Amino acid sequence: MGRKPKPGGNVKIARIDTGGPFDLGQVLDSGQVFHWETGSLDGQPVWIGCLGDEPVWLAQPDPVTVVCPAGEAARVAHYLGIDEPIARLHATFPADDAVLAEAVAWCPGLRLIRQPVWECLATFITSSLKQVAHIRQISLTLRRRFGVPHQIAGQTVFAYPTPAALAAAGEAELRACGLGYRAVGLWRTASALAAGDADLAELDALDDAEAREWLMRFHGVGEKIANCVLLFGCGRHGAFPIDVWMDRILRERYFGPRKRKTLKPRELQAWAEAHFGPHAGYAQQYLFHFARKTF
DNA sequence: GGTCAGGTTCCGA
DNA sequence: TCGGAACCTGAC
C-alpha cells in the first residue's frame, strides 16, 4: 500500500510543508487532545497516536515541515489544521486588540486540531474539574482497556473506544478507570449513541446555537463542554469555550477592576463572541494557551 | 492532610 | 432565574 521499506529498513515518509509557522509539540499539547505520546523512529523523536482509528507517527524536523508515514499526508494536514487559511483567519481578529496580538505572537505556530466528534465529546465529558495531566491519564486508561490496539513505530497505541465498547463496559467499570462522578455522563452518552437513540451526524443539520442545545441534552455536558465539542470536533469557529483559564485572562486583561468583579459569566460569554468575531474560537485557542503557559 | 483542579447538576430561594 | 453546595479522584 505505498509503504515500501527503503533499503536499511527505513519507513517511507511523507513531508508536509506547513506554509508558515507551525509548532507540532505545542499543537498536540494545547489542551485539545490528550493522548499523544513521545517515541522514536530510526533514532528520531516522534509523536505517536491515533487519527481516529488509524495509528500514525508525526515529527517536525524543521519549523515549516511536518513528516508522517507516506500516504497519510492529507489526513495529517487536515487533522492538524495545516490546510487552514490561517492568515485569512487572523485577518478577522479585532485589529486593535493588543492582548490577542500578544497571545498570537507568543505562539504563532498554534492550530486548532480537527478531531473526531465522538472522541472529542467523550474526552471532554471526562475533563470536568480535572487537571490536564489527569484528563490525559483517564483518556489513556480508557483507550488501553476498551480501545482497539495498533502497532506503530515499534509501540502499541490504542484508538479511542467506540460508544458500543464503553456502553458494554458499564458504569461501574468506567468508574474504576478513575472517572469518579463523570462515569455516569460518559456511560449514559455512550449508551444513547450505541443504542441509536441519538446520532452525532444530526449535528450537521443544526446551526451553532441548536447544535449546542443538542449536545447539552447529554448528562455531563454543559455549555463549556458543548462549546469544546463544537470547536474542536465540529470545526465551528464561532464556538467560544470559557473555562477557568479563559475566564481569568479575559477578566484580567480586558476589563477594569470593578467591571471584572461584577461581570456575569453570561455577559462575558456574549461579549467574547461579539468581540472576537466569526473565528472567535480560534482566538480563544491562542489566549487559552497563552494564559495556561504564562499565568 | 488540606486544597484545588479546564464543570455540571441539583436544590432551595 | 439565580446562587450555592455536592460531586470522585489524584497531584501538589
Whether A10 has a pLDDT exceeding 80, the answer reads: no
A245 beta carbon to strand B: under 7 Å:
yes
H or E stretch including A250? Answer: helix A244-254
Q: What is the pLDDT of residues A217-271, one digit of tens each?
A: 999 999 999 999 999 999 999 999 999 999 999 999 999 988 988 899 999 999 9
Domain with CATH 3.30.310 in chain A: 1-83
> Do the Cβ atoms of A140 and A50 come closer than 8 Å?
no
Cell output for A207: 446551526
A140 beta carbon to strand C: under 7 Å:
no
Residue with cell 495556561: A292
Whether A22 has a pLDDT exceeding 50, the answer reads: yes
CATH superfamily of A117-233: Hypothetical protein; domain 2 (1.10.340.30)
Whole-angstrom Cα Rg for chain A: 20
What mean pLDDT value characterizes chain A?
94
**Assigned CATH class of A1-83:** alpha beta
DSSP A225: H
Protein residue at shortest CA distance from C1' of B7:
A128
| Predicted TM-score (pTM) of this structure | 0.95
CA distance A182 to A171: 10
Longest dimension (CA), chain A: 68
Whether A137 has a pLDDT exceeding 50, the answer reads: yes
In whole angstroms, B5 C1' to A244 CA is: 10
CA distance A295 to A286: 14
In whole angstroms, B2 C1' to A183 CA is: 26
A221 beta carbon to strand B: under 7 Å:
yes
Whole-Å CA distances, A6 to A39, A55, A74, A170, A212: 21, 20, 22, 46, 48
Among A56, A84, A83, A60, which residue's Cα sits nearest to residue A70? A56
A178 beta carbon to strand C: under 7 Å:
yes
A135 beta carbon to strand B: under 7 Å:
yes
pLDDT for position A7: 40
A40 beta carbon to strand C: under 7 Å:
no
Domain with CATH 1.10.340.30 in chain A: 117-233
Cell output for A62: 524543521
Q: What is the pLDDT of residues A166-204, one digit of tens each?
A: 999 999 999 999 999 999 999 999 999 999 999 999 999
Q: What is the mean pLDDT of residues A200-219?
A: 97
Confidence of residue A295 (pLDDT cuts 50, 70, 90): confident
In whole angstroms, B11 C1' to A224 CA is: 22
pLDDT for position A197: 97
A134 beta carbon to strand C: under 7 Å:
yes
Higher pLDDT, A10 or A294: A294
A30 beta carbon to strand B: under 7 Å:
yes
Whether A58 has a pLDDT exceeding 90, the answer reads: yes
The DSSP secondary structure of A114-138, one letter per residue, reads: ---HHHHHHHHHTTTT--HHHHHHH
